[in-house]
Amino acid sequence: MLVRTRKGWEIPEREATPEGIFADRRRILAAMGFGLADVLRGADARPLYPARRNPEFTLDRPVTEEWAATGYNNFYEFHPTNKSAVRDMVGKFKPRPWTVEVSGLVGKPRTFDVEELERAMPLEERLYRFRCVEAWSMAVPWTGFPLAELIKKVEPKPEAQYLRFVSAARKEEMPGIRMAPWYPWPYYEGLRMDEAMNPLTLVVTGIYGKTLPAQNGAPVRIVAPWKYGFKSPKSIVRIEFTAKRPATFWNDTVPTQYGFFSNVNPKKPHPNWSQAHEKVIPGGELRPTLLYNGYEKWVAPMYTGKEY
């Protein structure tokens, strides 16, 4: 006669939860806003979006309609020439799960999970003017937190003077990389430490009260609103703290047209067009360009006026 001894992890079948009840439990949790990973981690399930709006940041124009801001995007990794086509090229892109590695001249190098950052950081919504170097502009409700808060967590060393940002470069998910193989992928950008610590500089995870869509830089990007838009790298995977000024994508590619600082300046024309005015998307209204995009009181003390 075969006698089988039950292992410690086994229970009698009669004590197992019926499959139907288990399935219902999962459906109930999903309806309550819990993902399975959240349940397993016991995560805080409070809604993150929309976040509280910071009243300090107001606009001199209406907020751009959502369909326009999410449908007209410079994101060369998806399409290098057609801004209106980008939103139709992002279908294969998988922005979650996602991590950002922070390294270089820091006391506490870390790899951050974006979802954990969203839960841990003080998210807020800010209305910012957004100015493209191509002389068009929008007014966008970004959701995020000050980059300075992230910097504090990794404890930069005294010799750290710059931050270098590196974006994702997934050829199979980002068709623009295959369409423009002559560019030095992945995209890379940089800020001086005082610029990164400026209270205006945001780590952005949301827009229009929702998580960022892929065409706007999901799941995490930087926004420095006094600079031209290409200084706000999208879909970031790595941040490095350096002692020397890092090279930047467009300065390496076309150095006569794009400087390291690239602050919005109506008196400094692009070699191919004036920067004195901007075309507001989507209506096309022409407005005078504001020095530092209107954020002079926050950022002017950082500059001598000769930066390029």
What is the per-residue pLDDT for 46?
Answer: 79
One-letter identity of residue 98: W
Instruction: Give the Cα separation of 10 and 79 in Å (integer).
Output: 55
Helical H segments across 85-222, by residue range: 114-120, 147-154, 175-179, 193-197
Cβ neighbours around 259 below 10 Å, total = 15
State the pTM of this model.
0.86
Residue 99 parent element (H or E) = strand 99-104
Q: Compute mean pLDDT per 10 residues along the chain, 308 residues long, and list them.
A: 46 47 41 41 73 97 98 98 98 98 98 97 98 98 98 98 98 98 98 98 98 98 98 98 98 96 97 98 98 98 93
DSSP per-residue letters across 115-161: HHHHHHS--EEEEEEEE-TTSEEEEEEEEEEEHHHHHHHH-B-TT--
Q: Taking the domain 49-302, which CATH number applies?
A: 3.90.420.10
Please check whether residue 106 is in contact with residue 196, taking contact to mean a CB–CB distance below 8 angstroms.
no
Residue 112: beta bridge partners? Answer: 100
Place of tokens 């610029």: 195
pLDDT for the residue 305: 86
> Where along the chain do its domains lie?
16-45, 49-302
User: Omega before 186 cis (within 30°)?
Assistant: yes
pLDDT value at residue 170: 98
| Among 277, 265, 275, 274, residue whose Cα is nearest residue 307 | 265
